[in-house]
Amino acid sequence: MRELICITCPRGCHLVVDDNKNVTGNFCPRGVTYAINEITRLVRVVTSSVKLTNSVYPRVSVKTKDPIPKSKIGAVMEEINRVSLKAPVKIGDIAIQNVLNLGVDVVVTKNIDK
């Protein structure tokens, strides 16, 4: 049996997952999905920032478009730290396409004109 706190929404449901993967304590169906994924497939969305040139701002925020395996976070961060973008950038611009061949892009999360 494992106890988790769901982070899917601000409600923070206290979940209990038994050995048969039955989930209790969830307010909505997203809690069940979160709990099962958390015990079978550890993934996270990575948020960070990359260097920005041609701008008054030195960096711009980025994130993985989808969750990646938790075991790959360090390697993904190394790739993110190598990137430099040139302003202007807008939300959704791809900073790294298919990072580490994981099938996930790293995208910009802020509009910056200059």
Domains of the chain: 2-41 (no CATH), 44-108 (3.10.530.10)
Question: In this predicted structure, what is the pLDDT of residue 15?
Answer: 97
Residues of the chain above pLDDT 70, percent: 100
pLDDT tens-digit readout, 45-78: 999 999 999 999 999 999 999 999 999 999 999 9
Question: In this predicted structure, what is the pLDDT of residue 114?
Answer: 87
pTM of the shown model: 0.81
Radius of gyration of the chain (CA): 17
Question: In this predicted structure, what is the pLDDT of residue 67?
Answer: 93
CB 64 within 8 A of CB 99: yes
Report the C-alpha gap between 86 and 4 in whole angstroms. Answer: 41
* Mean pLDDT along residues 91-110: 98
